[in-house]
Amino acid sequence: QVQLVESGGGVVQPGRSLRLSCAASGFTFSSYGMHWVRQAPGKGLEWVAVISYDGSNNYYADSVKGRFTISRDTSKNTLYLQMNSLRAEDTAVYYCAKAPVSGWYLYAFDIWGQGTIVTVSS
């Protein structure tokens, strides 16, 4: 079945780095745009970044621009989020999510991972 499994979360000090991974299975990974969405404790959803199906385009939320980098490895069916210069306000559950339509589609997410928790604290 279609599945996304995140990993790489943990506790990290402010200013340090962390890389999240999202292993995809059950669909043609190279045909779909992929997103990262986060949710701070007790808060709503916040979109983080998107990468196109072929990796040629990406966009970021202003809150992470210049600090986070989204990438994908089609040979490994894996999505990544490199997070640098982490701040306390980056503390959240991070979800990877798949677009429901192949190609360059930006409007929805049909499959979500279970989430990985990132805590930024000294």
Binding site for other proteins (CB under 8 A): 35, 37, 44-47, 50, 59-62, 95, 100, 106-110, 112-115
Nearest approach in angstroms of CB 50 to other proteins is 7
Nearest approach in angstroms of CB 119 to other proteins is 18
Three-state SS for 46? strand
Chain centroid offset of residue 84 CA: 14
DSSP letters of 51-103? E-TTSS-EEE-TTTTTTEEEEEEGGGTEEEEEE-S--GGG-EEEEEEE-SSSB
Measured from the CB atom, the residue of 30 and 39 that comes closer to other proteins is 39
Nearest approach in angstroms of CB 91 to other proteins is 17
Measured from the CB atom, the residue of 16 and 65 that comes closer to other proteins is 65
Measured from the CB atom, the residue of 11 and 106 that comes closer to other proteins is 106
State the Cα–Cα distance between residues 89 and 61, nearest whole angstrom.
14
